[in-house]
Amino acid sequence: MDYVVIDLEMCNVPKHYRTNNYKYATEIIQIGAVLMDQDYKRVATISQYVHPEHGVIDTFIVNLTGIQNNQIKHAPLLREVLQRMIEWIGDREYQVIAWSDSDYCQLMHEITSKGLENEQLADFMDEGRWIDYQDVFSKRFDFTRAIGLEEALMLCDIDSEGRFHNGLDDAINTAKLIEKLERNPDYQVHNYEKDTDCHSEPLSVSMGAIFANLGINCKV
């Protein structure tokens, strides 16, 4: 079994740009992924920009992701990007791993609303194929809340690569975390929630948390 670690970056869709066909507050502008073998070793990476059909790259998104309008202006639409990714994965048994379930939800929203359904995409989006590693992390170390990727890396003493909120860099950093934890099943982190005399604040938030107040959910 191989593993595809995926991360999406999104832009905002202003309310006046939303339609009955596309009613969501965000739209994908980048997909990054890391292919890992059965031993959780990195085999290959892919990064693709996506041209949004409804959303805009505003100052907030530029500052958050570093993605500029000129990088997505002539990029392919989501249909082509997803087809490239499926071809890149190839004919192998695999599971998809993401940090939180927000990426799965976002893909489902866009695939459904943009009429992209086909047999290959349905196989890729099979819910049983996807693993929410943020949930795995929280349950493994008995956290009562969702832990951001930056914080999880710090807790596991892993140096991050690149910048946070870049699709490929986030996928690479998630893969580094997965490799360390899956290859070291006895590894422990300090759960400060259990400290009665210390209430630490989270170091960062996930992209899903940033957009939570914009109405992202898995219902279509």
Cβ proximity of 27 and 55 under 8 Å: yes
DSSP per-residue letters across 193-205: GG-TT--PPPS--
Domain ranges of the chain: 2-214
pLDDT at 197: 45
CA dihedral 110, 113, 119, 123 (to 10 degrees): 40
Instruction: Please list, in sequence order, all residues whose beta carbon lies within 8 angstroms of the beta carbon of residue 116, skipping any fewer than 6 positions away.
Output: 78, 79, 82, 110
Task: Please state, in angstroms and rounded to a whole number, the distance separating the CA atoms of residues 11 and 28.
Answer: 6
- CATH superfamily of the 2-214 domain: Ribonuclease H-like superfamily/Ribonuclease H (3.30.420.10)
Output the pTM of the full model: 0.88
Task: Please state, in angstroms and rounded to a whole number, the distance separating the CA atoms of residues 206 and 211.
Answer: 9
Backbone angles phi, psi at 132, to 5 degrees: -90, 100
Kindly give the confidence (pLDDT) of every residue in the chain, 220 residues in length, as a single tens digit, with 9 standing for 90 and above.
999 999 999 999 999 999 999 999 999 999 999 999 999 999 999 999 999 999 999 999 999 999 999 999 999 999 999 999 999 999 999 999 999 999 999 999 999 999 998 999 999 999 999 999 999 999 999 999 999 999 999 999 999 999 999 999 999 999 999 999 999 999 999 888 877 444 555 555 555 555 555 544 576 6
Q: Is 97 exposed, middle or buried (0-12, 13-18, 19+ CB in 10 A)?
A: buried
Question: What is the distance of C-alpha 69 from the center of its chain?
Answer: 21
